Structure 1
Amino acid sequence: MAAFDTSRPTYVAGSKGFGAYFASLIAAFATWNDTRRTRNALNRLSDHELADIGLVRGDINSL
């Protein structure tokens, strides 16, 4: 059985300016990368393993 830790610390930059823009850009990239890694890991599971966690192969793309 595999377990994935997808929690990340939240960094809050100032509410204005370049720092906030850069922080939101990094957060968007981290979210995209987490989703990509999760989809890849789920695609490597067999149909039986997916059924054990209550998913079907068609559900993976909706994540």
Structure 2
Amino acid sequence: MAAFDTTRPVAVLNAGRFSNVFAQMMGALATWNDMRVTRKALSKLTARELDDIGLTFADLDKINAITR
């Protein structure tokens, strides 16, 4: 009589799901941090410097409202 180990593929499948969830969480964390650093750098610029790159303080307020 043959015996099949059916728990092994499930364990591999669950490990794959866990690694995907972990990778997505790490990706979201990295994206959040990049946006935080960008907001902080832009908030230190003067009105003239923002105008040079085509932004205003109102644009910064919109960015802050969206990302929080």
* TM-score of the superposed pair, with normalisation by structure 2: 0.65
Q: In structure 1, what residue type is equivalent to 2:41?
A: A
| CA deviation map 1:30-51 (0-9, x unaligned) | 0000001000000000000000
Aligned residues: 48
Tell me the equivalent position of 2:31. Answer: 31
Larger radius of gyration: 2
The answer to whether the 8 Å contact 1:42/1:60 transfers is yes
Aligned residues: CA RMSD? 1.1
Identity %, equivalent residues: 46
The answer to whether the 8 Å contact 1:39/1:61 transfers is no
Residues 1:48 and 2:54 are matched in the alignment? no
> Which runs of structure 1 show a deviation greater than 3 angstroms over 4 or more consecutive aligned residues?
none
